[in-house]
Amino acid sequence: MSASSPLPVSGAWRPGDAPGRRRFCDLGDLLLESGITLPEVRLAYETWGELAPDASNAVLVLHALTGDSHVRGPAEDGHPTAGWWDHLVGPGLPIDTDRWFVIAPNVLGGCQGSTGPASDAPDGRRWGSRFPHVSVRDQVEAELALAQRLGIDGWALVIGGSMGGMRALEWAVGHPDRVDRLAVIASGAAASADQIAWSSAQAAAIRSCDGFAGGDYYDAPDGRGPQKGLGVARRIAHTTYRTAEELADRFDNRRRAEPDGRYEVSSYLDHHADKLIRRFDANSYLVLTAAMDGHDVGRDRGGIAAALARVTARTLVVGVDTDRLFPLSMSERIAEGIDDARFHVIHSVFGHDGFLVDSPALADWIRDLLGGRSGRQSARVVAVSAAAGCSDPARRQEHADAHSAELKRSP
């Protein structure tokens, strides 16, 4: 789709679109925290590397709000943007895919192949406004079901930044016996009032758009949906991701040449809004930001300190010194609450987005985390029947062979 073509009603991936490197796993029904059962859940995911026979080398990489499973690889059919952590994941890189089997799922409630509001409900219609609230804990439970289907009983590392860091921390708090190592980057243990305030403004921009139609806009023609509202939301969010210093250095208060004479920084935000509209969905934006707003690892666990004390993983916590969305104090709180956690600071002019920019220091910290000894025994292989429902027959056969070998070794 060219930049001059009409803006789509939704940028969600749909069955029939090029799958790219996605794989798919049908998880069945998922009981949500709310008590609602979400039927026929599917997660899309990508993988790199080879799973060890005992499944001990699996690494879970969790994306941020508008990210997706395409951690590594070029922009191509099915993937409009290049991998967002190409400099950290791959052969010979800190998360070395010659050694580790890396899985990156598209989050539940998102719009890049996993079940979300743009997906078809069992009645054949889009979920739209009917899609239920999902929490960060619900998203982790879906990822747990995916791991079990793939024959993975535990992770050598769970790593994520921003919203991905929320899920990574929830993994280590909610399922400590399944996480050997943990890396939480530019994230927090609970959403702050400031974050919820920014999220509220973004949600209001989407909901107030005439084309939003209460969330049931999928039958509208291109150019007539909630694109303007989603674009405003993106402009607000992107501003919180960067720093005043960087924007001043890049744009100052300069205007573009005629005919429009607009400020350069406004044009920059327009560009990012246009890009997101073409690859994202307004309803998913609302669902995911609502999940982030409700994030609190201490809820119903005796508070944040008690929840963090449950973590047994060897832990790396990283903050960005110029992050105004997830300030350093949020990362420090996590590090202080987890025994023997290592805390480091990225020095960056890019603010919150500093965790996405190539950082030699971050690369070294992740290498060091993965180079250390695991705090847990190697993950066992679960029964091969758990792999049913995933769209990779060759890998299911690998699990069958591994399981057979495990049985032969058993006394």
pLDDT at residue 390 in the model: 63
Q: How confident is the model at residue 37 (pLDDT cuts 50, 70, 90)?
A: very high
Q: How many beta carbons lie within 10 A of that of residue 34, not counting itself?
A: 12
Average the pLDDT over 122-150 and give the result.
98
3-class DSSP assignment, residue 204: helix
Tokens of 273: 């809004």
Whether 163 contacts 325, CB under 8 Å: no
The span from the CA of 169 to the CA of 183, in Å, is 8
CA 95 to chain centre: 17
Tokens of 310: 């449950």
Where along the chain do its domains lie?
A: 23-191+296-407
Whether 385 contacts 273, CB under 8 Å: no
The CATH architecture one would assign to domain 23-191+296-407 is: 3-Layer(aba) Sandwich (3.40)
- The phi, psi pair for 219, rounded to 5°, reads -90, 0
Whether 307 contacts 210, CB under 8 Å: no
The candidate with the shortest Cα–Cα distance to 365, out of 222, 157, 191, is: 157
- Residue 155, beta-bridge partner list: 179
- The phi, psi pair for 358, rounded to 5°, reads -55, 115
Q: How confident is the model at residue 215 (pLDDT cuts 50, 70, 90)?
A: very high
The span from the CA of 411 to the CA of 2, in Å, is 62
| pTM of the complete model | 0.90
pLDDT in tens, 49-101: 999 999 999 999 999 999 999 999 999 999 999 999 999 999 999 999 999 99
pLDDT at residue 67 in the model: 95
Rg (CA), the chain: 21
Whether 66 contacts 272, CB under 8 Å: no
pLDDT at residue 298 in the model: 98
Which residue carries 């709180």 as its tokens? 333
Whether 5 contacts 274, CB under 8 Å: no
234 is in an annotated binding site: yes
Residues belonging to the active site: 162, 323, 352
Residue with the larger pLDDT of the pair 397 and 234: 234
Please give the single-letter amino acid code of residue 278.
Answer: R
Whether 44 contacts 114, CB under 8 Å: yes
- Residue 38, beta-bridge partner list: 30
Segment holding 407, helix H or strand E: helix 393-409
Which residues, including other chains, have CB under 8 Å from residue 138's CB and lie 6 or more apart?
A: 30, 32, 33, 108, 291
Mean pLDDT (the chain, rounded): 90
Q: Is the pLDDT reported for residue 41 higher than 50?
A: yes
% helix, strand, coil for the chain, step of 5:
40, 15, 45
Average the pLDDT over 139-161 and give the result.
98
Whether 299 contacts 257, CB under 8 Å: no
pLDDT in tens, 337-371: 999 999 999 999 999 999 998 889 999 999 999 99
User: pLDDT exceeding 90 applies to what percent of the chain?
Assistant: 85
pLDDT in tens, 306-325: 999 999 999 999 999 999 99
Which residue carries 């024959």 as its tokens? 151
249 is in an annotated binding site: no
Residue with the larger pLDDT of the pair 308 and 7: 308
Pairing of strands 89-90, 23-31: unpaired
Average the pLDDT over 298-311 and give the result.
98
The span from the CA of 248 to the CA of 259, in Å, is 23
The span from the CA of 148 to the CA of 155, in Å, is 11
